[in-house]
Amino acid sequence: MRLKRYSIIKGTGSFVPEVVVKNEAFLQNKFYEKNGVPLEKSNEEIIEKFREITEIEERRYAREDQNTDDLAFLAARNAIEDSGIDPEDLDYVIVAHNYGNVYFGSTTPDTVPSIASRVKHKLGIKNPGTVAYDLPFGCPGWVQAVIHADYFIKSGDASLALVIGAETLSRISDPHDIDSMIYSDGAGAVVLESVESEIPVGILAHKTRSDTLDHYKLLWMDKSNKPDYPGDDLFIKMLGRKVYEYAITHVPVLVKECMEKAGVGIGDVKKILIHQANGKMDYVIVQKTLRLFKAYEKPENIMPMIIARQGNNSVGTVPILLDMIMKKKMDHHTLEQGDHFVMASVGAGMNINAIVYRIV
């Protein structure tokens, strides 16, 4: 058989901030509808309903002295140590994020220089051939950055790539919007390496779609829900119900198409690692995906979940989840040689993507 070039995960890493914010922290918030009308229900009722739908009980926030580039660097360093590579040999450092550094007490994004440039600097990489750039693509940004790196590797342009997803969503969430309880901070990373193999390994297939005609503004930036909020700060906003409907309609179809492209059946997949913004939504997505394959019973432990303790850390969700599984930090969840798994995400754009991977 002829040797073909594949991208494999050489090492994984993550950084989850130590500041824990429980749901009870929002009891004192004054919540408003997006039209500025105060919510009538008590905060106790609002928070309990929120927990029932999303499963989120607590989330993680970066310390006041930490920024997105700090989280990205710590996750990257962890992945490099796990891979055992010399960072000077990296061809690419790609960082997925959406807001750059947002300093504590501010909502203004700082994106110059790029987060990737800052991370490369913090890692002390001297090699000018290590190309560093950022990729904003909504919550699916990290998965898309891995797809970028795979293209570079399969074209022969790269042998090693560091791909990071990092975000501090807590800094741009409106304290007067109940959606602010969803968002959290965190970072995850992988080192991808080029290998030649007679059998398909590593990234087998990927697929992406962008629905911008009718769905481009399901997530956007806008002023606070509180009508008399001082200043002109912009916060992340979301039409939650419409995002839910979009995701459960389109994500299962794209995941199935990606699996068919890889030649992998649902019975071959051990885990589905999906971006976690809403527990209820993720369960429906996986159930609908199984039904597309005419598999009506969900295999045990096919979908690892960390949302209850970590919330939605955007581009950090999937790589953090992957790192926890690879390092056996999750009960009942392991990935071994020969296992297939799927990584999928959905978010602002609206964008959806998926990757099918086989462990070497």
Per-residue pLDDT at 1: 67
The answer to whether residues 191 and 220 belong to one domain is no
The whole domain housing 151 covers: 4-197
The answer to whether residues 32 and 176 belong to one domain is yes
151, two tokens: 């293209």
87: domain CATH number is 3.40.47.10
The answer to whether residues 156 and 24 belong to one domain is yes
The answer to whether residues 149 and 8 belong to one domain is yes
- Choose among 263, 323, 332, 260: nearest CA to 292: 260
- Last residue in a domain, options 141, 172, 197: 197
The answer to whether residues 174 and 210 belong to one domain is no
- Last residue in a domain, options 143, 175, 197: 197
The answer to whether residues 164 and 227 belong to one domain is no
The answer to whether 129 and 91 are in contact (CB under 8 A) is: yes
- Last residue in a domain, options 146, 162, 197: 197
Residue 302 burial (10 A CB sphere; 0-12, 13-18, 19+): middle
DSSP state of 160: E
3-state DSSP call for residue 161?
strand
- Choose among 49, 65, 55: nearest CA to 17: 65
Distance (Å, rounded) from C-alpha 296 to C-alpha 283?
A: 13
The answer to whether residues 111 and 164 belong to one domain is yes
201, two tokens: 């390994």
Per-residue pLDDT at 332: 86
3-state DSSP call for residue 104?
coil
Q: Give the 3-state secondary structure percentages of the chain, helix then strand then coil, rounded to 5.
A: 35, 30, 40
Residue numbers of the chain with a pLDDT score lower than 50: none
Question: How many domains does the chain fold into?
Answer: 2
Give pLDDT tens digits for 111-163: 999 999 999 999 999 999 999 999 999 999 999 999 999 999 999 999 999 99
